[in-house]
Amino acid sequence: MSEPLLKVDDLRVEFDTRHGRVTALDGVSFDLMPAETLGIVGESGCGKSITALSLMGLIPSPPGHVTGGRIEFEGNDIAAMTKRRQRQMRGHDIAMIFQEPMTSLNPVFTIGDQIAEAILLHQDVSRGEARNRSIELLKTVGMPEAERRARAFPHELSGGMRQRVMIAMAISCRPRILIADEPTTALDVTVQAQIFELMRGIQEEFGVAIMLITHDMGAIAEMADRVAVMYAGRIIEEGDADEILDNPLHPYTRGLIGCIPLLGKEARDDGRPPKLAEIPGVVPPLHLLGQGCSFADRCPLVHDRCHREKPLLTGSTHCVACHATQMEAA
Ligand SMILES: Nc1ncnc2c1ncn2[C@@H]1O[C@H](COP(=O)(O)OP(=O)(O)OP(=O)(O)O)[C@@H](O)[C@H]1O
Ligand SMILES: [Mg+2]
């Protein structure tokens, strides 16, 4: 078996808040293999974006602090690399596309110029060459009338087109890893299907490994080879996507899978994803996380031990962090 492209080990991120120091990532570990799609799934606030941002070295500080853990890219510890190599890696080897393209695109430049800028930042080509490449890239991501659209400003495009622009920018330097943070949340289902198809095509063509962040198990079912399910800053279940979808072990994962029909449902008024029908309650705020399992208050299988002790992630290929499930298996 090949070596992981990215190895994340025991990552910890804390934030200073008005409630004091809170732990947003509490020992997150996972591997990303070459050319695979790893889905990171969980409800709002469980730490998906913070995981992605820490890989990119983008945790805002203050108030954020990376207080532990190790990230290896192709076997090399990122923290031990020179700043120059780190910068080159983030943006060149690892590219990220964000949930809301409007916030990452500059409203006063045409999209052609912005893609060309991204190319010039990391590659030694002339401005003219970069401009031609940006049109090629727009064609690659299926932008209709690419030459004309290259001269458009972000607000002149639809949400789906803007997301295509983001993908074009992200793949402009042929990254080894593409992190996609809720790339389709703001889009309707048909456009979502097109963007997923585009991502699959790019993966096939360039062999890029994709980390797909989503709150939606439907997207996982469609895209992911492997899945890490997050809850309150920890991974609580991990394994092959087919195995987890067929045989979820954690009550939280079962609840998320029960929500798959929500795929076509509209977001709430404030833009957050629809409420999970199958799991009562909400993710507890970070400052209220106690010593026990963070899911205990919502869990149908809860017992005494769950309130006292955090369950550890155990297993070899299909891992789960749940006292009830682990007891059953023992
Ligand atoms: N700048 C910050 N200051 C304090 N807490 C923060 C900050 N950024 C994130 N957090 C906290 O870290 C936790 C994880 O946030 P994160 O953005 O990773 O959630 P998420 O899983 O991406 O959610 P969503 O699905 O809504 O995007 C949340 O509880 C959030 O409140
Ligand atoms: Mg997020």
pLDDT at residue 277 tops 80: no
pLDDT digits (tens, 9 = 90+) for 32-43: 999 999 999 999
Sign of torsion over alpha carbons 136, 139, 140, 143: positive
Tokens at residue 40, please?
A: 């990171």
Write the single-letter amino acid at 102.
Answer: M
- The closest ligand to the CA of 96 turns out to be 2
pLDDT digits (tens, 9 = 90+) for 146-183: 999 999 999 999 988 998 999 999 998 889 999 999 98
Alpha helix positions (H), the chain: 48-55, 83-88, 101-104, 111-122, 127-140, 146-149, 159-171, 189-206, 217-223, 241-246, 251-258, 304-308, 323-329
pLDDT digits (tens, 9 = 90+) for 307-322: 999 999 999 999 999 9
Considering only residues 230 and 1, tell me which one the structure prediction assigns the higher pLDDT: 230
How far apart, in whole angstroms, are the C-alpha atoms of residue 282 and residue 263? Answer: 19
pLDDT digits (tens, 9 = 90+) for 44-91: 999 999 999 999 988 999 999 999 999 999 999 999 999 999 988 887
- The closest ligand to the CA of 230 turns out to be 1
Fold of 33-64+82-216: Rossmann fold (3.40.50)
From residue 65, alpha-carbon distances to 13, 47, 50, 60, 126 in Å are: 6, 14, 11, 8, 39
Work out the widest C-alpha separation in the chain, in whole angstroms.
Answer: 67
CA dihedral 22, 24, 27, 32 (to 10 degrees): -170
Q: Whose CA is nearest to atom 1 of ligand 1?
A: 63
Q: Whose CA is nearest to atom 14 of ligand 1?
A: 47
The fraction of the chain above a pLDDT of 70, given in percent, is: 94
pLDDT of res. 1: 64
How far apart, in whole angstroms, are the C-alpha atoms of residue 225 and residue 30? Answer: 14
Which of 46, 55, 100, 259 is the pocket-test mutation for ligand 1 (most atoms within 8 Å of CB)? Answer: 46
Kindly report whether the peptide bond that precedes residue 311 is cis, defined as omega within 30 degrees of 0: no
Q: Whose CA is nearest to atom 19 of ligand 1?
A: 45
For ligand 1, whether the C-beta of 17 sits within 6 Å is yes
Strand pairing of 37-41 and 94-97? unpaired
For ligand 1, whether the C-beta of 295 sits within 6 Å is no
pLDDT digits (tens, 9 = 90+) for 253-270: 999 988 655 444 555 566
Strand pairing of 177-181 and 6-17? unpaired
For ligand 1, whether the C-beta of 234 sits within 6 Å is no
The CA-CA-CA angle for residues 7, 10, 12, to 5°, reads 120
Least confident span in 98-102, 131-135, 230-234: 98-102
DSSP labels for 130-185?
HHHHHHHHHHHTT-TTHHHHTTS-GGGS-HHHHHHHHHHHHHTT--SEEEEESTTT
How far apart, in whole angstroms, are the C-alpha atoms of residue 226 and residue 308? Answer: 31
pLDDT digits (tens, 9 = 90+) for 83-113: 999 988 887 899 999 877 777 899 999 999 9
pLDDT of res. 263: 42
pLDDT of res. 100: 75
If one counts every other C-beta atom within 10 angstroms of the C-beta of residue 326, the result is: 15
Strand pairing of 319-320 and 64-73? unpaired
φ and ψ at 11, to 5 degrees?
A: -70, 130
If one counts every other C-beta atom within 10 angstroms of the C-beta of residue 264, the result is: 10
pLDDT at residue 30 tops 80: yes
Tokens at residue 199, please?
A: 């991502």
pTM: 0.91
CA dihedral 50, 54, 56, 58 (to 10 degrees): 80
Q: Whose CA is nearest to atom 10 of ligand 1?
A: 24
How far apart, in whole angstroms, are the C-alpha atoms of residue 50 and residue 66? Answer: 10
Q: Whose CA is nearest to atom 9 of ligand 1?
A: 50
269 Cβ partners below 8 Å, 6+ apart?
none
